[in-house]
C-alpha cells in the first residue's frame, strides 16, 4: 500500500489527475482512505476464497446451471454491498465518479486476493465501458445502474473455434427482426464467467455478423444479449435462448468458469451501428488489456509476499560469514538475487500500470483537447506494453516465487504453484502477447508517422539532467538509462525505416521490441522514483535508490542486448522450412 501511494504521489503525478475537471473530489487524501478500506475488504473477505476457487472450482451442474464455490457468493455480495465496482464509474449511473486510476488499483487489490474471482468484475467493467461509450440512452438506463452496482455481471464474447486471434473469422449470425431487435445464433468458446451464480442477470456483449456484412473485421457488429429478458419496468423476465453447454477443465483460475456458450435465436440488441462492432470491442479490450496487464503485477505481488516470508523462515545451509547450525535462505546471495529481481520488476510494473491509467484519465477528463489527444496516444502506446510485458513478468515472477520455495513450491500445499498456474493465462487471453507486439509495431508505431513514439522517448531522456544533478549515487542509473534508451531509439528508427517495405521483418522483431520498451519504461520510472524518494525519509530514499540501481545495473541492460533480435529481420526465422524445424 505504501508503494502504491508513493507511486501516485512521487512518480506518476496523481495530484494532476485530481485537479482535472470532474475529479476534484478524488484528491490524494480521499483516495488514501478509500484504498485503505479496500485493502481491508480484499484481504479479509476476498483473499480467503482464493484456495476454494482452486480446489472446489466452478462447476456445471447436471441441470445446466453453473455454480461457483460457496465462499465466492458471500464475497461477491459483500463486494456489491460495499459498492467497490462502481467507484470509478459515473455518478449518473450510481458510481463514485473516481478516476480510472483508482479503479485499476481496486482491481489490483482484488486480483491479488483472488484472480479467478476478480475476473468477473473485470469483464463487467469492460462491458460497462463499451456501453458508456456506444450504448443508446435507453440501453444505458436499462443496463448500467445494475452493472455499475455489480448486481448484474457482464461478459465479452468474441472467441469461436475458428476465430481466436483472428476475430474477423467469426461466424455467429445476427438477423434483424421487425421490432428492431436481432436473433443471434452461434457458438462462442472460452467465455469467462459465461454463466455463474454470483448475479441473477448476465449481460453478454456478443460479436456477430448481420446478413450480407463484409468479410473480416469490417463486417462485425456488437450486441447486448441478456441472459434473462428485461421487462419494461426493469424487472427480470424469462430466460433468453442462451446457455452454457460446458465448462473447460484447465490449468489455473479454476474458480472462473470458462464456458462454451450456445446462442440459439437468442434476442440481442445492436450497440451503435451495424458493422462497427470492432470499434466498440476495442473500447472494451483496451480497458481489459490494461487490467489483464495488471493481473501480472497483482499475482506476482502476492507470490512475492509469500516467497519473501518463506525465505525468512526456511533455514538451509550456512550463509557465508554466519555462525550457528544454519541460516534462513534469505541470507544466501542467490535467493537475495531472486527476491530483488521480484521486488524491482514489481515496482517497475506498478509505476507503469499507474502511468497508463493516469493517461487514461487525462485522455477522458483534461480540459484541453490537445492534452486529451496526446494522453490518448500515450495510452495507445502503453496498453500493449502493459499487457505484454506485465503478463510475461507475471509468469516469470511467479516462477521465481516457486523456485524460492524449492520442492515445497512444486507441491500444492504451499499454494504458490496456484499463482504460477493462475497467472499463465494472462499472456494468452485479451489478445495473446504476440498480438500485443504486432499491435505495438503495426498500429501504434505508425501514429503520426512514428512521432508519438519518438516524442515519448525524448521525454524519457529528459531525466538525464536531473540524474546528473542528483550525485554519484545515481551515476550508474544515469549511464544505463542513457545507453538503453539510446538502443530503444535505434530500434525505433529501424522499425520506422523498415516499416512498409518489409512488414515481415518488423513483425519478426516485434516481441523483443515490446520487451525493450517495457524494460526501458521500468528503468525510467524507477529512476523517477529514486529521485522522488530523495526528499522522503532516509529509509524510503535508500529503498528507492537501491531498487532503481539494482534494476538499472542488473535488469535494464537486457534492453540493449535485444537490439540485435529486434533488427535481425525475418531471414533466419524462415530459413528452415517447416519440415526442417522437426
Ligand X SMILES: Cc1cc2nc3c(=O)[nH]c(=O)nc-3n(C[C@H](O)[C@H](O)[C@H](O)COP(=O)(O)OP(=O)(O)OC[C@H]3O[C@@H](n4cnc5c(N)ncnc54)[C@H](O)[C@@H]3O)c2cc1C
Spatial neighbors of 556 by CB under 8 A, at least 6 apart, are 480, 481, 484, 519, 520, 522, 523
Distance CA 165, CA 285 (A): 13
Closest to ligand X by CB, 445 or 552: 445
Closest to ligand X by CB, 220 or 425: 425
Minimum CB–partner distance for residue 38 and ligand X (Å): 25
Distance CA 111, CA 391 (A): 13
Cell reading at 537: 525519509
Closest to ligand X by CB, 561 or 573: 573
DSSP per residue, 537-570: -HHHHHHHHHHHHHIIIIITHHHHHTHHHHHS-S
DSSP per residue, 199-244: SSEEEEEEEEB-TTPPSGGGG-EEEEEESEEE-TTS-EEEEPSEEE
Cell reading at 426: 494472462
Minimum CB–partner distance for residue 158 and ligand X (Å): 3
Closest to ligand X by CB, 437 or 530: 437
Minimum CB–partner distance for residue 418 and ligand X (Å): 15
Closest to ligand X by CB, 190 or 550: 190
Minimum CB–partner distance for residue 253 and ligand X (Å): 6
Cell reading at 66: 453453473
Closest to ligand X by CB, 127 or 477: 127
Report phi then psi at 192, rounded to 5: -70, 130
Closest to ligand X by CB, 7 or 124: 124
Distance CA 319, CA 206 (A): 58
Minimum CB–partner distance for residue 429 and ligand X (Å): 4
Minimum CB–partner distance for residue 433 and ligand X (Å): 7
Q: Which letter, b or e, does each residue of 540-570 get, where b requires 16 or more Cβ atoms within 10 Å of its Cβ?
A: bbebbbebbbbbbeebbbebbebbeebbebe
Of the listed 108, 430, 473, 489, which one is catalytic? 430
Three-class DSSP category at 258: strand
Give 334: exposed, middle or buried? Use CB within 10 Å, 0-12, 13-18, 19+: exposed
| Catalytic site includes residue 243 | no
Pairing status of strand 221-226 against strand 258-271: antiparallel
Distance CA 208, CA 122 (A): 22
Nearest residue relative to ligand X (C-beta): 164
Interface residues with ligand X (CB under 6 A) are 156-159, 164-165, 190-192, 250, 258, 425, 428-429, 432, 434-435, 438
Minimum CB–partner distance for residue 402 and ligand X (Å): 20
Residues classed as catalytic: 430
Amino acid at each position: 500500500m505504501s508503494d502504491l501511494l508513493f507511486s501516485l504521489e512521487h512518480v506518476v503525478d496523481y495530484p494532476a489527475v485530481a485537479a482535472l475537471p470532474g475529479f476534484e473530489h478524488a484528491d490524494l487524501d480521499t483516495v488514501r482512505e478509500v484504498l485503505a478500506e479496500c485493502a481491508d475488504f480484499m484481504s479479509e473477505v476476498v483473499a480467503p476464497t482464493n484456495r476454494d476457487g482452486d480446489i472446489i472450482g466452478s462447476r456445471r451442474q447436471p441441470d445446466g446451471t453453473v455454480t461457483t464455490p460457496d465462499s465466492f457468493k458471500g464475497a461477491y455480495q459483500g463486494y456489491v454491498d460495499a459498492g467497490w465496482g462502481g467507484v470509478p464509474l459515473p455518478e449518473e449511473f450510481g458510481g463514485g465518479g473516481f478516476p480510472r486510476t483508482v479503479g485499476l488499483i481496486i482491481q489490483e487489490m482484488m486480483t491479488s486476493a483472488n484472480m479467478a474471482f476478480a475476473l468477473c468484475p473485470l469483464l463487467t467493467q469492460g462491458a460497462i465501458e463499451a456501453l458508456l461509450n456506444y450504448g443508446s440512452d435507453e440501453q444505458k438506463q436499462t443496463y448500467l445502474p445494475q452493472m455499475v452496482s455489480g448486481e448484474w455481471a457482464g461478459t465479452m464474447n468474441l472467441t469461436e473455434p475458428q476465430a481466436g486471434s483472428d476475430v474477423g473469422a467469426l461466424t455467429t449470425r445476427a438477423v434483424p427482426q421487425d421490432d428492431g431487435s436481432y436473433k443471434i445464433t452461434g457458438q462462442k468458446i472460452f467465455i469467462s464467467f459465461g454463466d455463474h451464480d454470483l448475479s441473477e442477470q448476465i449481460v453478454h456483449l456478443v460479436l456477430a455478423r448481420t446478413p450480407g456484412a463484409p468479410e473480416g473485421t469490417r463486417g462485425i457488429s456488437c450486441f447486448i444479449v441478456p441472459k434473462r429478458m428485461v421487462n419494461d419496468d426493469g424487472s427480470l423476465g424469462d430466460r433468453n435462448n442462451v446457455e452454457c453447454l460446458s465448462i473447460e477443465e484447465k490449468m489455473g483460475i479454476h474458480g472462473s468458469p470458462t464456458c462454451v456458450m450456445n446462442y440459439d435465436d437468442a434476442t440481442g440488441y445492436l450497440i451503435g451501428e451495424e458493422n462497427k462492432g470492432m470499434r466498440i470491442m476495442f473500447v472494451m479490450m483496451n480497458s481489459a488489456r490494461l487490467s489483464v496487464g495488471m493481473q501480472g503485477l497483482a499475482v506476482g505481488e502476492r507470490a512475492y509476499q509469500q516467497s519473501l516470508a518463506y525465505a525468512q523462515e526456511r533455514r538451509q545451509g550456512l550463509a557465508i560469514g554466519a555462525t550457528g547450525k544454519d541460516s534462513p535462505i534469505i541470507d544466501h546471495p542467490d535467493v537475495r538475487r531472486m527476491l530483488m529481481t521480484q521486488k524491482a520488476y514489481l515496482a517497475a510494473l506498478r509505476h507503469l500500470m499507474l502511468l497508463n491509467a493516469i493517461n487514461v484519465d487525462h485522455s477522458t477528463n483534461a480540459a484541453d483537447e490537445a492534452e486529451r489527444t496526446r494522453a490518448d496516444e500515450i495510452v495507445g502506446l502503453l496498453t500493449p506494453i502493459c499487457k505484454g510485458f506485465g503478463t510475461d513478468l507475471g509468469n516469470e515472477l511467479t516462477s521465481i516465487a516457486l523456485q524460492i520455495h524449492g520442492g515445497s513450491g512444486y507441491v500444492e500445499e504451499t499454494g504458490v504453484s496456484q499463482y504460477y498456474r493462475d497467472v499463465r493465462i494472462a499472456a494468452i487471453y485479451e489478445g495473446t502477447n504476440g498480438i500485443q507486439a504486432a499491435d505495438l509495431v503495426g498500429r501504434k508505431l505508425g501514429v503520426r508517422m512514428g512521432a508519438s513514439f519518438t516524442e515519448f522517448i525524448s521525454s524519457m531522456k529528459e531525466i538525464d539532467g536531473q540524474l546528473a544533478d542528483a550525485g554519484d549515487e545515481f551515476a550508474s542509473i544515469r549511464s544505463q538509462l542513457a545507453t538503453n534508451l539510446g538502443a530503444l531509439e535505434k530500434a525505433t528508427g529501424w522499425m520506422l525505416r523498415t516499416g512498409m517495405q518489409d512488414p515481415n521483418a518488423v513483425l519478426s522483431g516485434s516481441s523483443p521490441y515490446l520487451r525493450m520498451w517495457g524494460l526501458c519504461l521500468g528503468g525510467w520510472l524507477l529512476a523517477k522514483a529514486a529521485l522522488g524518494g530523495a526528499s522522503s525519509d532516509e529509509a524510503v530514499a535508500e529503498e528507492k535508490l537501491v531498487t532503481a540501481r539494482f534494476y538499472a545495473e542488473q535488469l535494464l541492460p537486457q534492453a540493449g542486448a535485444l537490439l540485435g533480435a529486434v533488427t535481425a529481420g525475418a531471414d533466419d526465422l524462415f530459413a528452415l522450412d517447416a519440415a526442417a524445424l522437426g
